Structures are given as structure tokens and as C-alpha cells.
Amino acid sequence: MSSTKSPKGPESPDKPSLAPDLVSRDGRYVLRPWSGTGEPVPVVEAKDCLLTDANGKQFIDFTSGYFVNQAGHCHPRVVKAATEQLGKVTQVSGRHTTPPVVDLAERLVQLSPRSVDRVFFTTGGTEANEFAFKMVRQYTGKTDIAYLDNAYHGLTLGTLAACASQKYRDSSGVPLGDYTYQLPNPYCYRCPHEQSCETQCLDEWEERLDARADTTAAIVAESAQAVGGIAPPAKWWARADEIRKKRGLLLILDEIQTGLGRTGKMFGAEHYDLEPDLMSIGKGISGGVGSLGGVLCRSEVVAKFFGGTTPTSAGNAVSAAAGCALIDTVIDEKLCENAAAMGIYFTQAVAALEDPWVGDIRFQGLLGGVELVRDRKTKQVLAKEDVTRVKDSMHEDGILLTVSGPLGNVLRLQPPLTVTRLHIDACVAALARALETTRGSARP
């Protein structure tokens, strides 16, 4: 792991800044899905947990490049593997194969739950979920897929139908059909039952699943929800798995954001001893090189699968070579263990602030965040404008992060798995300053 530098860097006095031109041309030519205050940052260099913009200012990246750089930006081992592969073969038809693709498939199967033994490669996580939906419908002959409150599985038309956010669902511009439906998720901090968890929310699972028993093929769920960092207690997943098995329902486990060490285990399934029928992967699987995803499958489920075609760039040899190097790096540098330890340290460091606006601190490894409230006793949600001010203040302090959660009040903190205590200390110090500054200007 590299040593930590100051999150701020001086602007170079020797040459004019490239930032205004880059941002201006980006605004003119690039159609951006979203942006916020201080965005886009014109990044010209990225190493480990640090980004440098065109002004020479440094940021500590607590988004991992939108949750893909597990081993940090431009890890030398990943770069070397991708560069060497570029001189051999880059892409072949999906009818054929390359050594990196076979090697990566074998490694993934060896590291994943024993219930899955084949890999169908895609160009990303959303596409992986699309194919997983197709696989379970073909296998069962049933149409319906159940998903959880607060679920996020992608933004294409098929996956939008299993997305809980109404804002995202409305973006489709068309009705999404009646082939998906919601089940309660374990948002324990705001549990409607207001008592110690006896998994009461799963009583509703049984009612809803039984009402559509003849048409339901599968349940899709993340092992822990990345939006808001909502990780279920082990007994919740134990009962949920029992419920779906009793009804003969397949489990699609979405490990796109929880996989490859993010939660302190190689896959989030390990926390709960889950053995899914299909498991979607993406995001960090290629170490930030290209775009790669896949569906890990139980052979029986996909024995007669017909995909129609394969994604043109699926199983790109360069991305696959980078993926193999990433897995070696995660194992050799003990990044799962570091993620687990740094998640605990993060939790303790934020808790030590004893700030009245910090409602809940949730980390499973380095998947998680901090839920902000106006009142800790009532759990009143902090106003959106105040959450934005906190985020913007931290950005000015050299910390890149996003805001998420079911109520839009969670500071989402998912740094590279190489993050150190010094990086976290800088983040928590920036958070403390941001909370104090925002509280001073907040409306009563």
C-alpha cells in the first residue's frame, strides 16, 4: 500500500491550468448522466487512493472510481497484466476463447460459493443481471422475479423493473410491466416493527410470495445493499434462504458491488453461507480496466440456456487478464483482511466524533456509509440541502464521495481496498469540519 499524501495539492505556478478547458469541452460534447457541485473533476492522474485534477489539487477517492478500483487506481500489477495482454490478443469472437478468459473463469468458480460452477461473461454488471433474469425465466418457465425494497440492480429496461427507486423507474419512459414485485428489506435502523429483530419483515415475504407462487421464478437480492450500506443480520438471511428454498425459488445473488473483497470477504455470500443458483458480478472484477461482468451459474439452471447472442465485447482478453491480476493482488496483499479491519476503524473513528447529526454508521468491510439525521432520538432525516452542503464541504476538503440511501441522507464511503488509517483519518476530519460548518449555517 502506498503512503498517504495530503488530500490537497497546490496548483502548479509554472503552467496554465488545463481544468477550465477540459470542463468546458466536457460540458459541450459529453452527455453526462448526472453531476453535482464541483463536478466533473477533471482528473489527469490517479494512483492508489489519490486523484490529481488538472489544477494539481489532490483528492482522496472514497468512491473507488464508482466502486471499480478494488486495488486502487492503476495498481502496477493490474496495469502490467493488461499492458502485456495488449501485445498478444485483445478481443476474439464469442465463439472462441483466450487464455485469460479461461483463467479468470476458473479462478472465479474456485473462489465463489460451491453452488455455482460456470461463468457467462458480459460487459458489465447491469448486463449480467439482464442475462440472469433471462436464465431463470427460461429454466423455470415462469415470468416473475421478486426484488427487495431499496434494491438497485442496474438501469437498463429489464433491470429497471427490479429497481426500487421510483425516480429511476420513471426514467424508462415506458411502463415496466407486471413481472416483478417488491419484498421488504432489513433496514434495521428504521425497522417499522420497532423491536429487537426477530425477522418479522420476512412474514410479509411469505404472504407476497405465496400470492404469486404460480408465476414466480426467482428472488434477486444483494447480499448487502450498496445503496445505503444496509447489511442484514445473519439470522435474517438464514430465514430468507429457508423461505425461498421451501417454495422452490431460485436465488440470484447480486455481488456486483459486494464482490472481490469489498465486504471483507471475497464475496458477500460468505458472511451468510449462501449458495445461490446464479451470482452476478461486475464493477471491480477487472480492476478498473475496460468493462467486464458475468453471471456465475449452477450448471443445471443453464444446461439449456439460449442467450440469443453474446455481448460483442464480453470476455475481453485485456480486461480478463487484468481481472486475474486483480484477484492475485487481493489475495497476496490481503485486501479482504484490510477491508474488514478498515471498516471497523472507519466505524470507530466516526463514532468518536459524537456528532449529533450522525445517526447510524454502517460498514460491512468497506461497503457502507454514514446516515445523517437532524435528531438522533427521533431519527428525523437531515434536510437534503444540508446533506448536500456536508458533501460539498468534504469535496472542497479533498474528499470525493457520493450521497445515497433509501432517504437520500447517507454519505456513501467505499474507498479502494488499499485504504489506510491515514486516508480514513483525513476523511473523518473533513467530515467533522463539514458537519460543524453546515450546522452553523443550517436553518432552525
Which of 10-14, 30-34, 306-310 is most confident? 30-34
Q: What's the pLDDT at 190?
A: 92
4 against 236, higher pLDDT? 236
Q: What is the pLDDT of residues 368-417, one digit of tens each?
A: 999 999 999 999 999 999 999 999 999 999 999 999 999 999 999 999 99
The string of DSSP codes covering 322-355 is HHHHHHHHHHHTTHHHHHHHHHHHHHHHHHTT--
Checking if the pLDDT of 146 tops 50, the result is yes
Average pLDDT, the chain: 93
Lookup: cell for 26: 466536457
pLDDT band at residue 18, thresholds of 50, 70 and 90? confident
Q: What's the pLDDT at 443?
A: 66
Arithmetic mean of pLDDT, 357-374: 97
Q: Which long-range contacts (CB under 8 A, 24 or more apart) does 33-39 make?
A: 36/388, 36/391, 36/392, 37/388, 37/391, 37/392, 37/395, 38/392, 38/395, 38/396
Contact call for residues 180 and 154 (beta carbons, < 8 A) = no
Checking if the pLDDT of 16 tops 80, the result is no
Q: What's the pLDDT at 194?
A: 67
Is 77-332 a domain of CATH 3.40.50.300?
Answer: no
Q: What's the pLDDT at 3?
A: 41
Q: What percent of the chain has pLDDT over 90?
A: 85
Q: How far is CA 118 from CA 91, 96, 114, 160, in A?
A: 21, 16, 11, 26
Q: What's the pLDDT at 177?
A: 87
Arithmetic mean of pLDDT, 351-376: 97
Arithmetic mean of pLDDT, 117-131: 96
Q: What is the pLDDT of residues 83-110, one digit of tens each?
A: 999 999 999 988 899 999 999 999 999 9
Domain 19-61+334-441 class? alpha beta
C-alpha 351/C-alpha 25 separation (Å) is: 42
- Domain residue spans of the chain: 19-61+334-441, 77-332
Checking if the pLDDT of 138 tops 80, the result is yes
pLDDT band at residue 15, thresholds of 50, 70 and 90? low
Q: What's the pLDDT at 11?
A: 45
Q: What's the pLDDT at 338?
A: 98
C-alpha 295/C-alpha 158 separation (Å) is: 16
Neighbours of 171 (CB within 10 A): 12
Checking if the pLDDT of 4 tops 90, the result is no
32 against 181, higher pLDDT? 181
Q: What's the pLDDT at 1?
A: 41
188 against 9, higher pLDDT? 188
Checking if the pLDDT of 296 tops 80, the result is yes
Q: What's the pLDDT at 278?
A: 98
Angle between helices 317-332 and 335-351 (to 10 degrees): 70
Contact call for residues 73 and 65 (beta carbons, < 8 A) = yes
Q: What percent of the chain has pLDDT over 70?
A: 95
Model-level pTM? Answer: 0.94
C-alpha 326/C-alpha 353 separation (Å) is: 35
Q: What is the pLDDT of residues 427-443, one digit of tens each?
A: 999 999 999 999 988 66
